[in-house]
Each structure stands twice: as C-alpha cells, then as structure tokens.
Chains A and B, each alone.
Chain A
Amino acid sequence: MWETLAQAVINGLLIGGIYALVSIGVTLIFGVVKIVNFAQGEFVMIGMYISFFLATQFGIDPLVSLVVSMPVLFLAGVLIQHFLIRRVLGPNDMPQIFLTFALSLLLLNLSLMLFSANYRTVHTSYSDEAWHIGGLYIPLAKLIAFAVAMALSGLLWVFLHTTDLGRAMRAASQNRDVAMLMGINPNRVFAVAFGTALALAGAAGSLLMPFYSAYPFVGQVFVLMAFVAVVMGTLGNVMGALVASLMMGIAESLGIQFVGADSGLIVVFGLLLLTLAFRPSGLGARRGR
C-alpha cells in the first residue's frame, strides 16, 4: 500500500515537472503581457518536432537539442510578439483571444499538413531505462526531464529576481501602468516575456521527446493541465504555477491509481474547484489583496 502510494506520488511529481514548464510560460505571458496564449501547447508541439527531426536526421539526442529548440522558439516568440500580439494590445480583449486562438489552429493544421497525424517517437538509450530503489522505480528519461525542468524554473526565478530586465518584467506584471511610468520599455519587456515563455514550451517539448510521442495534437494534452495550473496557482504567479503544476501531476496520478484509470482528470478538477472555493484567487495570491 505505502509502496503503491509512494510510487504514485513519484510518477505524479515527475510528470508535474513538464506541466510546470508549460504553465509557467502561460502564466508569464499572462502576467506581463496580460493576454492568454491559447497557442502555448502548439509551441510545445513545435519543440517536440524540432527535437524529433534533429534526432532522426542528425542523430542529436533530444536533451541536447534543447539548445536548438529553446533559442528557436525564443526568437519565434519575439517575432510573434512584435508582429502580431503588439498590434492587438489594447483595451479590448477580444482581438487578443482570437489572435492566439487562431495561431493555435493555424499551427495545429499546418503541422497536420506538414508532418501528418502520425505519432513520431525517438529512441534513446535511456528511454526504457529506470532506477529501481527498493520496491520503487524511477524512469530515467522522466527524472532527467524533471531535473532539467526544475533547473530551468530556478534559472527563470533568478532571472526575474536579480536582473534589471527580470525586475522590469515583474514590475510590469504587478502593475503595468506604473511600470511604464517608471520608464520601463513595454515592447522590450513584452518581447522578452513572450520569447521566454515560448522557449520554456520548446524546452518542455525537447524534454518530452525521449518518452512521449510527437503528433500535431500533442500540445492540447498539456495545455489543458497548464491552464488549470495557472488558475490554481494564481494568474501571473510563476511560483504559484510551478507549485500547482506539481500538485496536479500528483493529484492526477493518485486519481488514476486509487479512483480509476479514467478518473485522473476528475481529481485534478476537483482539486481546482476546492482551491477556488477556499482561495478564490488561487494558491499564489497574497492575502489582503
């Protein structure tokens, strides 16, 4: 019993790391640029395909291809912010919603056309490996993905708290208007935020590749969890999204283990409703706000 429970928690925690990378991206964009990026999942998908093609064409390990997928998606993010998002930022939310939603549909169907609906899998020496400790096992590929995800989240935290640009992003996230009045260049901050968020999505894609299949709809699986985590961890709160993602990974895993294999999401959404009932602004909200 305890063994099963411990195993379920380990499984949940490891997959929660991937959810975290996606949800941190969503929450970062929401916090700084104040738009909801519905296309975040599709950028995870693009990250996966980048890693897939680098692995199959040039034999590059998916983890190594992180150094390609992250900059490529960062650049894509900057360009998308500059040429698309910037134009629709205004008092009205509707154009922004339609823009990112359209972007999601466009990328999804484009990849269907280019890559077909087939599942693409990469094989690495560690894909099927696991460490056995006592009665428990830890899949190596997922452990690596989790560790890198946590390291990237840590780096982001350091960036947001110690650099001028990072502080500017946090300032813009807390109160955009005042930040502007303090002389922060919004376009630069927005572009970096959007780029960083997409780079994280790309990282999630590359980290997933050793143990998950790439296909055009793959982003949808992760973006649903990301949105739940973002809401649960308070919109715009990076730390909140991280913690909420890990919690949801564990909740899902426990749900599958103890409620039923088709009930993982029931537990996740139950947890979300409970959280919102007692802390309507989410886990990361400051009291008294």
Chain B
Amino acid sequence: MTGDRKPPAINNAAPTQASRTKLNRRKFLARTGGALAAGAFGAVPLRGWAADPINIGALYPTTGSMAQIGTGCVAAAKLAVDMVNEAGGIKSLGGARLNLIVSDVQSDTTVTRTETDRLITGNKLSAIHGCYASALTLIASEVCERAHVPIITGSSSDQLNKGRSYTFTPFARASQFAKAQLQMAKLVSDQAKVAVIFENTAFGTSTSNGLKELAPGEGVEIVMFEPYSAGFTDASPLINKVKASGANTLFSLSYLNDLILIVRTVKQVGLDIAINGGSGGFVMPDFYKNVGKAAEGLQGVAHWNHDVNEDAQKVNAEFKKRTGEFAFEYAGGLVAQTFMLADALERAASADPKKVREALSTLDVSSGYAAMAPGGKVKFGPDGKNVYGRPVGVQWQNADLASIFPKEDARAPLIKT
C-alpha cells in the first residue's frame, strides 16, 4: 500500500498520464480510505484507475475448499477488466476505467454475507459479480438486493431468479442442464437407457430428481436410479450394479473424488458405457489432470465453453497465457459478464448502481465479447434470466473440452467410446 504512494509506482502504472494520475490517485486515496482499510482484510483494490474509476466488486472464494476455482475466477475478472480498459474504458463516462475490487468469501456462507456487506458499505460500487458456487451467490444476491446494487453471476441455481430484481443470470439455469444431459444421452443411442447414480446429499438428490422428472418427456428410459454415500472408498460394488442394469449411458452426479473412482472403476471393469459427469468440477482443467487419459470421451454440460465463437477463443488464448490453463466455463463466462456490465455502464452513462441495474435490464446484445455465450445472444427477462441462455454439451477430447451439443453450438463431432 505505501509503495503505491511513491512517484515511481505511479509512473510505472501509467507513464503517459503520470501527472493526471498522481492528482487523481490522491483524490482516490482520500475518498476510498475505507476500501484501503478493508484491503487489510482481503478486499484489494487493483490497478487501473484513471479519470473517476468505476468500481466493480468481485466476490470469489480465493481461500478454503473452492480456493483454486476462486483464484481462477479472479484471474478471469482481472483479464476482463484489462480488456475493457485497454479498449478505452467507458466512453460515455469520459473513458472511465473499470476498477476491480476483489473480496475473498472463503468458500463460506457466513463470510460471504459479511464480505458482501463490507464490500458494499466500504466502497462506491456500480455493480458486483460473483461468487462461483450457487450456495454463496444466493446469499450475496440477497445482500445486493437489499443494498440496491446489481449482481451478475454465472451460478446456475434456479433459485437466483426468484423474487430478485437486482440479480442477473446470463447463462443456462440448472433446470436446463438436466434437460441437455438427457438429450445428449440420445446422441449415444436411439434407445437411451440411463443409469443415474448420485450422492445422497442435497445437491445429488435435487439434481437427480430433476432428471427423473424430465426423462419421460425426452424419451429417455432410466433403468437405474441409485443414491450412494459421498466419500466412499470403493466404487466397484456400485459399478457392478450399473453393469447389471444394462444401461448404455451413466449419469454420475458426484464430486470430483467419487467421480474419479467411478471413472477408473468403469475402465477396470471394461464396461462399455458413455459417462456424463454433468457440470461443476467435471468441466474443470483439474479434472483431466486427475483422471488423465481415462477422461477422454467423457461428456458433460457447461454454461460456457471456450470454443463457442472466435471471441471466446481469443479470451481463451489470453487466459491460457496468464494462467497456463484453458478458460473454464466460469472464467470465460465471467469475461462475458464484465462486458455486459460495460455495455450497461456505457448506456447508463452513470456509475450509479440503480441506473446500471436499469441498463442491465434492457441489455440486448448479439455481438462482441458480451454476447460470447452458447446461443450468442443476451437479453434479460423480468426474472433476470437470459431469455436466450442455454447450456452447451461438451466432451473431453485430447485433454481439452470440445462443444458437441446442441447442433448449433457443436464445434466437434461426438466421439463414441
């Protein structure tokens, strides 16, 4: 923090506008003393302020059990802000730059509540994005609702679209994921026989029930429907049952560790079955690192994939350069979200959060980084849901995720295993 006040640091930040930056930085420091104090507790103002910067709050779990994903999200958020700023910032506000204020929600619901509160009261925010995990986003969005600050999120819980007017969800909802998974089962075989195994937790039970309800409508037969205790030591008995059921597709609603065991056991048994691992941890670079070659051919669903269009590929290349990994669904979606915010700020011509909310609610884009999503268009309905939002079916091919479903979004053919 002290280093920031020394002239060399300022020159380093923006050599061409050194004198202007110096003045503004002083003003900025005076105005946001609270934010700097909060910095000691994890809220860190990042570089990128020029003329009256626009503060965007970012709530991600950068410590705790979801730390790795949260850190990836922050990397994507920084990338997005840099992209907007390098393109000239918000022109209707005199080229104002976006200033990202990151806050760590520690993978914990209680911390999320207090951090969201602190972020809002300690800073003059125009909007917030976060928090990766639906459980955390649900809480943050409640706080945002009360404080009248818009929040845009890639979290998929349908709950986020209920009774909220400051929450915007530009990507596919959880209910749509289930439908897409069932339709993908029909790619494997005309007579889709699906075995559903799910961990006996809230996540597993609710998702599997969704699948069960939708299956008849999609013409998919569920031949096995079995809960299991999460964190088992051996997947063999479960896979024995799957084998006996005669299914040709396996839906495994599991967290990473169980899923790795399941995939390995399927290979060991030599069972010829297509596996759909759903979303979440399954569509992360880490999954492939853990499972290795056995992951090849496995299918999943995502709300974003880096091959959806050329813009997404550009983002992916830059993200890869910065982090060494391909842009996972949430990271790429986050870049699109930042551009949606920039579009809203541009039209609102104001940094006032209420005006930004108004502008978001009338957002209608079909080109550029803001529209980089499956479906290629973003327009929010009254419930904050993107009316064009849809998931994309993906498959692990050559250590990378390829979009294979639906036809309009498919960028590679399905490899039958």
Contacts and interface: CB of A to CB of B under 8 A. Distances in A.
Binding partners A and B: yes
Interface of A: 4, 7-8, 11-12, 14-15, 18, 116-121, 123, 127-130, 132, 137, 139, 211-213, 215, 221-222, 225, 252-254, 256-257, 260-262, 264-265
Interface string B219-235: 00000001111011110
Interface of B: 64-65, 67-68, 197, 200, 226-229, 231-234, 236-238, 240-241, 244, 256-257, 260-261, 264-265, 267-270, 286, 290-292, 294
B234 A253 contact: yes
Contact of B290 (A14, A15, A121, A256): A121
A117 B236 contact: no
Given A4-B244, A118-B286, A256 B238 contact: yes
A262 B227 contact: yes
A11 B265 CA distance: 11
A139 B257 CA distance: 18
A260 B226 contact: yes
B126 to A, nearest CB: 33
A213 B264 CA distance: 12
Contacts of B265: 139
The 7 closest A-B pairs by CB, nearest first: A261-B228, A256-B237, A130-B268, A11-B236, A117-B65, A121-B290, A257-B237
A7 B236 contact: yes
Given A121-B260, A221-B233, A256-B228, A137 B269 contact: yes
Contacts of B261: 211-213
A15 B261 CA distance: 13
Q: Is the interface of B mostly helix, strand, loop or mixed?
A: helix
A8 B244 CA distance: 13
B264 A127 contact: yes
12 contacts: A11-B237, A118-B286, A119-B256, A121-B291, A128-B264, A128-B267, A128-B268, A212-B233, A256-B232, A256-B238, A261-B227, A261-B237
A54 to B, nearest CB: 18
Contacts of A222: 233
Given A4-B244, A116-B67, A118-B68, A264 B290 contact: no
Given A4-B244, A11-B237, A129-B268, A213 B260 contact: yes
B103 to A, nearest CB: 19
Contacts of B268: 128-130, 137, 139
Nearest to B226: A261
A215 B236 CA distance: 21
B236 A253 contact: yes
A7 B240 contact: yes
Contacts of B264: 127-128, 211
A163 to B, nearest CB: 33
Nearest to B224: A261
A7 B268 CA distance: 13
A262 B229 contact: yes
Contacts of A15: 233-234
Nearest to A19: B233
A40 B72 CA distance: 34
A10 to B, nearest CB: 8
Given A117-B64, A262-B227, 17 more contacts: A8-B240, A12-B234, A130-B268, A137-B270, A139-B236, A139-B265, A139-B268, A253-B234, A253-B237, A256-B228, A256-B237, A256-B238, A257-B240, A261-B228, A262-B228, A262-B229, A264-B229
